[in-house]
C-alpha cells in the first residue's frame, strides 16, 4: 500500500520499485510537490547531514516507512534559532521522528578530555558547527517551540537508545533522567528500530494502543513490569545504581527480556522488552530497498561530507556483536545476537555498485561491527536467549558457539566472480580469537584475507596487554594476539606483501594505571615492534559496564573497588606513555600542563 492524496492505493512490488527508484527522501517542499503529495505523514529530524545509504539509520528508517505507504520527509541539522528549517516541510500528520544521528552528539562534539572537536565527518564542509550538544533534546525543544499543536514526537538512534533509562552522564558528571523526560517526547524506540518503527507507525495511524509494542519506552502514571530503583535513589546511591543497571542489562535480550519500569518522581519510565531479532529475510528486505549512496543535493551544495567516502561503496553484512566488550555500546544498542543478510542480498547490492558511474571496482568494506561474525550464531542463544551467567567470548570462547568462516569465504568468492568487481576490502575490524578457534575454516579465511582483502593494514583491537585491565574490559588475553600476529606476518611474507597490523589500544580505562601503560609500552615495543598511533582515551558513554565502573569506582561483578583515573592531565599522560617515540639522548621532557594537552 502507498498513500496518495486521494487515499491508500495498492501497487505490485515491481510497480512500487518504479515508484520510488531512484529517489532521495524529500527534504524540500519542491520534492514533496513533485511526488504529488500535499502533506507529509512523518518528518524525520537528524543531527547528521542526509546521506542516502543503508549505513545511515535515518535513511533506512525513512525508506522502510515509505515502502509501508507513508509519506516521509527528512530535515537534517536544522537551525536552532529560527523556524526556517524545522517548518520547511510543514507539520507532519502522524508524528515527528528525532535522532541525534549515527553518533551520540556529546561523543561527536567532545574529545575524551572534554575539548570541543573541530571536525565532524557527518557535516558538509567537515566543520563541527551544525550538531548541537544533546541533539535529541535540542531538536525536540525546537519542534515544540515552533510547531503548535504538535504531533507526537518519537525519539530514536543511538543517543536515545543508550540514554533510555536513568544514566550516568560523563559530560555533566551526574546521573541524568531518562532522555524521554528531559526531551519531553512521547515515545522512544530503542535498538536498531527498523522493526519497531513499522509497528508503531501503523498503530498510530490506526489509532490503536501502542503500550505493548516491543522495543519502545514511554512514560506512564502507573508502575508496570519489574521495577528498578527509582531515579532519586540511583542519583544518590551508587550501589542502587549498580543494581538498577545490572537488572536493565540482563533484560536487553529479546528472548528473555522483561518489561521494566523506573520511577521518576510521580511518573514511571516504562521499558518494554526489546524487539525480536531480525530474520535473514527481514535483513534482506530493508537492505534491498533502493538507496542513492550519495548526499542529498540540497546538502551536497553546502560542501563535501567525509563520511560518504567511507560508506558509499561499502556493504553492511550483519547487525549485532556477541563480543560484549564492557566499554562498547553495541551490546545495548544492536544487541548480542548477530543478524545476517543472505549472500543473494549482498550480491545484489554489489551489482548495483557496478552500475554506478563513480564506482571504480573497489568495495571499500564488507562487514559489520566485527566483520568475521557474519553468518553464524549460537543455536542455544537463538532459542533460549543470551546466557545470564557467561559471555560468548570472555574469558574464553563458549563451546556452544562454533565459529565458522565458511559462509564468509563463499561470499567473498562470489563477489570476486561478479563482473566489475576488482577488490573487496575488509576494513571494519576482525576478532582474531574467532579465526584461531575455527579449526576447520579459520586458517583458510586468514590466508584469503591476507592475500586479497587487506589494504596495506588490518585493524585489530587488543586494547591492552595487562590481564587485570583486560578483565575489566571483558577482553581476551594477549596470547591469541601474538599467535595471530605470527601467522599474519608469515602469510604476508609468503604473499610478498608489505602488510601490517594496526592495533587499537586504550588508555585510562577503569583499572588502568600509569604503570600499566608503561607495561603496554614495553609490550608494543618488544613484542609488536611498533609505536602505536591508534590509542584512544576511554570515554564513558552511557549504558556500558565500563561507564558504571567509572562512575562507582567498583567492579559491578565482584563489588570490589577499582582504580579510576579521572584527572584529564593524567589521562593524557597515560596515552602519551604509549604513543611517545624514543627521545634523543639529553633531550629534556616537556612538563605536562592542561595548556599542552591536544
375-413 tens-digit pLDDT: 999 999 999 999 988 899 999 999 999 999 999 999 999
> Counting Cβ atoms within 10 Å, is residue 41 exposed (0-12), middle (13-18) or buried (19+)?
buried
| Domain 456-598 in the same topology as domain 313-452 | yes
- Note whether 97 and 44 are within 8 A (CB): yes
CATH class, range 2-210: alpha beta
- Note whether 162 and 329 are within 8 A (CB): yes
Q: What is the pLDDT of residues 230-258, one digit of tens each?
A: 999 999 999 999 999 999 999 999 999 99
pLDDT given for residue 23 in this prediction = 87
What mean pLDDT value characterizes the chain? Answer: 92
Instruction: State the pTM of this model.
Output: 0.92
* Contacts of residue 343, Cβ cutoff 8 Å, sequence gap at least 6: 407, 410, 411, 414
In our burial notation (b when 16+ CB lie closer than 10 A, e otherwise), range 177-191 reads bbbbbbbebbbbbbb
CA distance 334 to 352: 27
pLDDT given for residue 21 in this prediction = 52
Domain ranges of the chain: 2-210, 313-452, 456-598
Average pLDDT of the residues in 265-291:
97
CA distance 223 to 227: 7
CA distance 245 to 129: 34
Q: Is the dihedral of CA 221, 223, 225, 226 positive or negative?
A: positive
**Alpha helix (H) ranges present in 315-419?**
330-333, 343-354, 379-384, 406-416
Please give the annotated binding residues for [4Fe-4S] cluster, written as ranges. Answer: 321, 325, 328
Taking 50 as the threshold, does the pLDDT of residue 16 lie above it?
no
Q: 3-state SS of 112-149?
A: CCCCECCECCCCCCCECCCCCCCHHHHHHHHHHHHCCC
pLDDT given for residue 12 in this prediction = 37
pLDDT given for residue 14 in this prediction = 37
* Contacts of residue 142, Cβ cutoff 8 Å, sequence gap at least 6: 78, 80, 86
CA distance 491 to 319: 30
- Note whether 8 and 1 are within 8 A (CB): yes
Q: What is the pLDDT of residues 308-344, one digit of tens each?
A: 999 999 999 999 999 999 999 999 999 999 999 999 9
Taking 60 as the threshold, does the pLDDT of residue 260 lie above it?
yes
Please give the annotated binding residues, written as ranges. Answer: 321, 325, 328
Average pLDDT of the residues in 519-538:
95
CA distances from 311 to 203, 315, 430, 598 (A): 33, 8, 18, 28
| Terminal CA-CA length for the chain | 54
Question: What angle in degrees, to the nearest 10, is found between the helix axes of 280-287 and 343-354?
Answer: 10
CA distances from 297 to 28, 308, 583 (A): 11, 13, 50
CA distance 553 to 377: 34
CA distance 365 to 168: 34
CA distance 414 to 437: 25
Q: What is the pLDDT of residues 32-71, one digit of tens each?
A: 999 999 999 999 999 999 999 999 999 999 999 999 999 9
Q: Are strands 187-189 and 216-220 parallel, antiparallel or unpaired?
A: antiparallel
Percent of the chain past pLDDT 90, that is, above it, reads 91
Q: Cβ of 46: how many Cβ atoms within 10 Å? A: 30
pLDDT given for residue 428 in this prediction = 87
Side-chain half-sphere CA neighbours of 320 within 13 A: 28
- Note whether 422 and 428 are within 8 A (CB): no
Percent of the chain past pLDDT 70, that is, above it, reads 93
DSSP string, 433-454: HHHHH-TTTHHHHHHHHHHHS-
Average pLDDT of the residues in 162-190:
98
CA distance 113 to 307: 24
Average pLDDT of the residues in 104-111:
98
> Counting Cβ atoms within 10 Å, is residue 486 exposed (0-12), middle (13-18) or buried (19+)?
exposed
CA distance 78 to 579: 39
Closest-CA residue to 97 (of 1, 178, 193): 193
Q: For the chain, count helices (H), then strands (E).
A: 24, 24
What architecture (CATH level 2) is domain 456-598? 2-Layer Sandwich (3.30)
pLDDT given for residue 542 in this prediction = 96
Q: What is the pLDDT of residues 458-506, one digit of tens each?
A: 989 999 999 999 999 999 999 999 999 999 999 999 999 999 999 999 9
Q: Does 313-452 carry CATH code 3.30.750.210?
A: yes
Confidence of residue 587 (pLDDT cuts 50, 70, 90): very low
Amino acid at each position: 500500500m502507498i498513500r496518495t492524496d486521494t487515499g491508500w492505493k495498492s501497487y505490485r512490488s515491481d510497480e512500487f520499485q518504479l515508484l520510488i527508484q531512484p529517489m532521495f527522501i524529500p527534504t524540500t517542499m519542491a520534492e514533496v510537490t513533485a511526488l504529488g503529495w500535499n502533506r507529509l505523514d512523518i518528518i524525520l529530524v537528524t543531527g547528521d547531514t542526509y546521506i542516502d545509504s543503508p549505513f545511515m539509520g535515518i535513511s533506512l528508517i525513512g525508506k522502510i516507512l515509505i515502502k509501508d505507504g507513508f509519506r516521509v520527509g527528512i530535515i537534517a541539522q536544522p537551525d536552532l534559532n529560527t523556524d526556517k528549517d524545522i517548518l520547511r516541510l510543514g507539520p507532519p500528520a502522524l508524528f515527528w521522528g528525532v535522532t541525534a544521528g549515527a553518533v551520540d552528539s556529546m561523543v561527536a562534539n567532545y574529545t575524551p578530555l572534554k575539548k570541543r572537536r573541530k571536525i565532524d565527518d557527518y557535516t558538509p564542509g567537515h566543520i563541527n558547527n551544525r550538531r548541537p550538544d544533546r541533539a535529541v533534546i535540542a531538536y525536540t525543544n525546537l519542534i515544540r517551540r515552533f510547531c503548535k499543536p504538535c504531533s507526537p514526537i518519537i525519539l530514536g538512534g543511538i543517543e536515545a537508545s543508550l540514554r533510555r533509562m536513568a544514566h550516568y552522564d560523563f559530560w555533566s558528571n551526574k546521573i541524568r533522567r531518562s532522555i524521554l523526560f528531559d526531551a519531553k517526547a512521547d515515545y522512544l524506540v530503542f535498538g536498531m528500530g527498523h522493526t519497531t518503527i513499522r509497528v508503531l507507525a501503523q498503530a498510530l495511524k490506526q489509532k490503536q494502543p501502542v503500550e505493548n509494542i516491543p522495543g519502545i519506552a514511554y512514560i506512564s502514571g502507573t508502575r508496570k513490569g519489574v521495577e528498578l530503583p527509582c531515579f532519586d535513589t540511583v542519583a544518590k546511591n551508587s550501589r542502587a545504581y549498580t543494581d538498577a543497571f545490572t537488572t536493565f542489562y540482563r533484560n536487553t535480550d529479546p528472548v528473555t527480556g522483561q518489561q521494566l519500569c523506573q520511577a521518576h518522581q510521580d511518573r514511571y519510565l516504562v521499558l518494554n522488552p526489546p524487539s525480536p531479532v531480525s530474520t535473514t529475510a527481514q535483513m534482506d528486505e530493508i537492505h534491498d530497498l533502493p538507496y542513492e549512496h550519495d548526499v542529498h543535493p540540497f546538502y551536497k551544495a553546502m560542501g563535501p561530507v567525509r563520511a560518504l567516502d567511507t560508506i558509499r561503496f561499502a556493504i553492511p553484512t550483519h547487525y549485532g556483536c556477541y563480543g560484549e566488550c564492557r566499554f562498547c555500546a553495541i551490546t545495548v544498542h544492536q544487541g548480542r545476537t548477530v543478524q545476517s543478510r543472505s549472500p543473494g542480498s549482498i550480491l545484489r547490492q554489489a551489482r548495483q555498485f557496478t552500475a554506478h558511474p563513480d564506482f571504480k571496482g573497489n568495495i571499500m568494506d564488507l562487514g559489520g561491527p566485527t566483520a568475521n561474525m557474519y553468518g553464524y550464531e549460537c543455536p542455544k542463544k537463538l532459542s533460549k536467549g543470551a546466557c545470564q551467567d557467561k559471555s560468548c567470548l570472555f574469558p574464553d570462547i563458549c563451546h556452544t558457539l562454533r565459529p565458522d568462516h565458511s559462509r564468509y569465504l563463499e561470499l567473498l568468492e562470489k563477489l570476486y566472480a561478479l563482473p566489475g568487481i576488482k577488490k573487496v576490502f575488509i576494513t571494519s575490524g576482525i576478532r582474531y580469537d574467532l579465526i584461531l578457534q575455527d579449526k576447520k575454516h579459520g586458517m583458510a579465511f586468514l590466508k584469503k584475507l591476507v592475500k586479497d582483502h587487506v589494504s596495506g593494514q588490518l585493524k585489530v583491537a587488543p586494547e591492552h596487554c595487562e590481564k587485570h585491565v583486560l578483565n575489566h574490559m571483558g577482553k581476551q588475553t594477549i596470547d591469541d594476539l601474538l599467535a595471530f600476529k605470527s601467522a599474519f606476518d608469515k602469510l604476508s611474507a609468503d604473499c610478498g606483501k608489505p602488510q601490517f597490523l594496526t592495533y587499537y589500544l586504550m588508555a585510562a580505562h577503569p583499572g588502568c594505571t600509569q604503570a600499566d601503560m608503561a607495561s603496554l609500552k614495553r609490550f608494543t615495543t618488544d613484542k609488536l615492534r611498533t609505536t602505536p598511533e591508534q590509542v584512544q582515551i576511554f570515554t564513558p558513554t552511557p549504558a556500558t559496564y565500563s561507564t558504571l565502573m567509572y562512575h562507582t569506582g567498583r567492579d559491578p561483578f565482584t563489588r570490589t573497588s577499582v582504580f579510576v583515573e579521572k584527572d584529564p592531565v593524567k589521562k593524557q599522560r597515560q596515552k602519551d606513555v604509549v604513543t611517545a617515540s624514543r627521545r634523543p639522548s639529553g633531550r629534556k621532557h616537556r612538563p605536562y600542563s592542561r595548556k599542552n594537552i591536544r
